[in-house]
Amino acid sequence: MKRAVTVAQVRGLLAELRGAGAGVSFVPTMGGLHEGHASLVERARQAAPAVVLSVFVNPLQFGPDEDLAAYPRDPQRDARLAQEWGVAVLFTPSSEFLPAEGGVRLDPGPLGGRLEGAVRPDHFRGVLTIVAKLLNVVRPDVAVFGQKDLQQAVLVRHMVRDLDVPVRIDVGATVREPDGLALSSRNAYLTAAERADAPALQRALLVGEAALLSGQREPGRVREAIVRALDETPSLHPDYVAVLRAEDLAESSLAHGPTALLAAARLGRTRLIDNRIVDVGGAS
């Protein structure tokens, strides 16, 4: 595994790989690596064998009262895991990678102000700005994102489409603990009691999925079923619950085709997000 810190270094390493005829795939992360990231690396490798993995805790996507200072960081462990997973290049840019203060930022459009964006203003502005920089530096054939951050993945696809960025965006399935909790670096914040309650978020989404699969097509009714299920766990404090078209997270009067069930909730000092995508077939 080769390592790069500067843009010049990573571009030089990638020129060598491409000169040898290797296709390049890319997995951007904020570190705190876990098996969910491992699955994304493997998915990336299947698409293009030379995997670049970046680790950059992006301050632009954190609000003033969020957990930037506390976000899990263990660079030595991250490097060891990246090597074990067969990553070709580990790119760990410094804070100098950030755009100049007062410089260009990308506007995510209306979707960036909904769901996560309604709770975390400017979050996706920061996400898309750094993802765009990373894609411009790495210039991969394919970049792989996780379904757990579904809104992020949809917005990145929109950005790539609207700005004609020559990369394919792939989305890997969420990896879960045996009890259903989605793997996340922030799960490290959970106390033992909170960890016991955390799978209730996924269970509530499964209630919504069951409603869809049993024939309920009114998004409002499905959402109500999810909210009722969440109410059974008082320690969970929902930020939002939504039932939307999976492709673009648009609202529809009746669910049809791939439908996304999304929820976010606070549990102690930890914020959990999760989703499920259910294909309910044609309009009915």
User: Residue 220's closest CA among 202, 204, 243?
Assistant: 243
Residue with tokens 């914020």: 271
Write the burial class of residue 165 (CB in 10 Å: 0-12 exposed, 13-18 middle, 19+ buried): middle
Cα–Cα distance measured from residue 56 to residue 92, given in angstroms and rounded to the nearest whole number:
6
CB count within 10 Å of CB 192 equals: 6
Active-site residue, selected from the candidate residues 37, 123, 158, 237: 37
Residue with tokens 């999304």: 262
* E strands present in 119-206: 142-146, 168-172
Would residue 37 show up in a list of annotated catalytic residues for this protein?
Answer: yes
**DSSP string for 205-233:** HHHHHHHHHTT---HHHHHHHHHHHHHTS
CB count within 10 Å of CB 41 equals: 24
Instruction: Say which DSSP state 162 is in.
Output: H
Cα–Cα distance measured from residue 172 to residue 40, given in angstroms and rounded to the nearest whole number:
6
Instruction: Say which DSSP state 83 is in.
Output: H
Residues near 154 by beta carbon (within 8 Å), at least 6 away in sequence: 111, 247, 248, 249
CB count within 10 Å of CB 140 equals: 25
Residues near 126 by beta carbon (within 8 Å), at least 6 away in sequence: 58, 59, 60, 61, 62, 105
Residue numbers annotated as active site: 37
